[in-house]
């Protein structure tokens, strides 16, 4: 979709820059801009509406299962030495990941806007599963775009989505991964914007999507901040989260952004180092740091975690990177697999491969800190979806 993925970095049509420094904005065709402007209007109307908030909190409590624990990982802390490790347990949410927090908020907004058809993109499948779950609950038509390569890697999640009544559309073009699924979902929205609500899963895309996703995911840090104060009487020294598009990380960081004593650390795959090597450009209708090839097109990326191989990143993460408020690091596949196994065997918690990236960096950071210091690791999802894939990788 050339209008949404042009890489010149120039303003397209009537695009504008959003609130994250030079990053963000809405670089889309005029007819879609009208749809996004209406979406923003409705989001601003309802996000602080007491009735909307009450319903959102109801479903977070009664359907998602929040609030979830901030668990002290005692054995892991003792094994690594140094800082205390706390795990924010998004893996315990209904559907197994943080994605449901945002989905519930957006589906309630879609309902108020009169939508009957919902579309979404997914990489690892967790956002697709969460969207299909919510659509089943509210009786809405659901179409999920997923890269063909990711449908192979996450076949179990494809079955879950179909079991929940969703139509899963494999996208074979490009690398058959998350970027290509986003392309197709945006194409669908342009064709069907009068009848379709695009429930975007990560903190990316044209305005107002990054702001909406952050708003609904901020419940993660809202809880963890209160919980750590109750448990330890002070704020953590560091908060660590994996970063692909950036939704779990921005949710984990949100309520600490104005706490300069708290280090915010995002962890990327070393084969998709967007925040480490990316340059400012436009992708999928917004400006962010992007991995580009020699021709100025999105670079091919890879991660053993299907949710982390996006060649762009959320605009707020781009801003946090260039301003220095957050740090972004990479870990290798070998470190991730080791962390996946160590958390499983030490604490009895099998993490998603995405989340294992954050665990892998915590393992390196903790021993450099003292025993009075605290690290909160956002455990963004559980590893049920990844166990078979890891089995075959370790067997090889």
Q: What are phi and psi of 241, to 5 degrees?
A: -145, 150
Cα distance between residue 173 and residue 336, in whole Å: 28
Give the mean model confidence (pLDDT) for residues 290-316: 92
The confidence score (pLDDT) of residue 18 equals: 56
**Do residues 154 and 381 touch, judged by C-beta distance below 8 A?**
no
pLDDT greater than 70 at residue 13: no
Options 121, 149, 316, 335, the catalytic residue: 121
Asked about 380 being catalytic, the answer comes back as yes
Predicted local confidence at residue 218, as pLDDT: 98
Q: What's the rounded mean pLDDT across residues 22-48?
A: 93
Of 257-261, 302-306, 376-380, minimum mean pLDDT range? 302-306
- CA 260 – CA 310 distance, rounded (Å): 29
Cα–Cα distance measured from residue 105 to residue 255, given in angstroms and rounded to the nearest whole number: 18
pLDDT score of 311:
92
The active-site residue, picked from 221, 303, 318, 380, is: 380
**Separation in Å, CA 10 to CA 282, 283, 284, 290:** 8, 11, 13, 14
pLDDT of residue 194: 85
Q: Which residues, including other chains, have CB under 8 Å from residue 299's CB and lie 6 or more apart?
A: 291, 292, 293, 311
Do the domains 67-97+219-395 and 18-55+98-213 match in fold? yes
Whole-angstrom CA distances from 279 to 12, 165, 308, 322, 366 are: 18, 40, 18, 11, 30
Region 306-329 average pLDDT:
95
pLDDT band for position 300 (50/70/90)? confident
Q: Which residues pair with 87 in a beta bridge?
A: 71, 377
**Domain 67-97+219-395 CATH class label:** alpha beta
Average pLDDT rounded to a whole number, residues 245-262 = 97
The pLDDT-based confidence of 327 (bands split at 50, 70, 90) is very high
Integer Cα distance of 389 and 393 in angstroms: 6
Question: pTM of the prediction?
Answer: 0.93
Going by C-alpha positions, the residue among 53, 41, 6, 50 that lies closest to residue 27 is 6
- Contact criterion met (CB below 8 Å) for 173 and 204: no
Q: How many CB atoms lie within 10 A of CB 369?
A: 17
Report residue 2's pLDDT band, with 50, 70 and 90 as the boundaries: very low
**Beta strand segments in the chain, E:** 70-72, 84-89, 117-122, 141-147, 167-171, 196-198, 238-242, 263-269, 279-283, 286-290, 326-331, 374-379
Q: Say which residue the tokens 């009735």 belong to.
A: 51
Task: Please tell me which residue in 99, 179, 225, 385 is annotated as part of the active site.
Answer: 99
Q: 328: number of CA atoms within 13 Å, CB side?
A: 29
Residue 109's pLDDT band (cuts 50, 70, 90): very high
Q: Over 70: is that where the pLDDT of 275 sits?
A: yes
Give the CA dihedral 95, 218, 259, 374, nearest 10 degrees.
Answer: -10
Residue 8 pLDDT greater than 80, yes or no: no
CA–CA gap between residue 396 and residue 392 (Å, rounded): 6
Query: CATH fold of 18-55+98-213, please?
Result: Rossmann fold (3.40.50)
pLDDT band at 183 (very low <50, low <70, confident <90, very high): confident
Instruction: Count other C-beta atoms under 10 Å from residue 16's C-beta.
Output: 12
Does residue 121 have an active-site annotation? yes
**Residue ranges of domains in the chain:** 18-55+98-213, 67-97+219-395
322 pLDDT more than 80: yes
Give the position of tokens 């990054």: 210
Q: Which residues contact residue 355 at a Cβ distance below 8 angstroms, ignoring those fewer than 6 apart?
A: 91, 242, 377, 378, 379, 380, 381, 383
């Amino acid at each position: 979709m050339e209008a949404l993925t042009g890489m010149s970095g120039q303003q397209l049509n009537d695009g504008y820059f959003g609130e994250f420094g030079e990053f963000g904005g809405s670089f889309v065709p005029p007819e879609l801009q009208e749809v996004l402007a209406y979406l923003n209007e409705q989001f601003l109307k309802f996000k602080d509406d007491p009735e909307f908030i009450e319903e959102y909190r109801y479903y977070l409590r009664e359907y998602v299962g929040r609030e979830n624990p901030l668990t002290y990982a005692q054995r892991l802390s003792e094994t690594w030495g140094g800082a205390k490790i706390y795990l924010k347990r998004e893996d315990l949410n209904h559907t197994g990941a943080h994605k449901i927090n945002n989905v519930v908020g957006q589906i309630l907004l879609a309902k108020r806007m009169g939508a009957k058809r919902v579309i979404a993109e997914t990489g690892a499948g967790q956002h697709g599963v969460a969207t299909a779950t919510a659509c089943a609950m509210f009786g809405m038509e659901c179409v999920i775009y997923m890269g063909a390569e990711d449908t192979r890697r996450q076949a179990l999640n494809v079955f879950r989505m179909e079991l929940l009544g969703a139509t899963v559309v494999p996208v074979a073009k490009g690398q058959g991964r998350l970027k290509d699924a986003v392309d197709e979902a945006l194409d669908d929205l342009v064709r069907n914007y009068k009848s379709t609500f695009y429930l975007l899963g990560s903190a990316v895309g044209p305005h107002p999507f990054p702001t909406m996703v952050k708003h609904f995911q901020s419940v993660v840090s809202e809880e963890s901040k209160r919980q750590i104060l109750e448990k330890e009487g002070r704020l953590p020294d560091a908060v660590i989260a994996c970063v692909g598009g950036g939704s779990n990380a921005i949710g984990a960081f949100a309520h600490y952004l104005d706490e300069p004593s708290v280090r915010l650390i995002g962890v990327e795959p070393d084969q998709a180092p967007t925040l480490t090597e990316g340059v400012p450009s436009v992708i999928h209708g917004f400006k962010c740091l992007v991995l580009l090839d020699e021709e100025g097109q999105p670079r091919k990326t890879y991660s053993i975690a299907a949710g982390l191989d996006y060649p762009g990143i959320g605009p707020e993460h781009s801003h946090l990177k260039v301003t220095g408020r957050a740090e972004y690091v990479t870990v290798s596949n070998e470190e991730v697999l080791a962390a996946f196994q160590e958390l499983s065997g030490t604490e009895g918690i099998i993490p998603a491969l995405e989340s294992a990236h954050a665990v892998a960096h915590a393992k390196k950071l903790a021993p450099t800190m003292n025993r009075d210091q605290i690290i909160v690791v956002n455990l963004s999802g559980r590893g049920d979806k990844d166990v078979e894939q890891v089995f075959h990788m370790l067997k090889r």
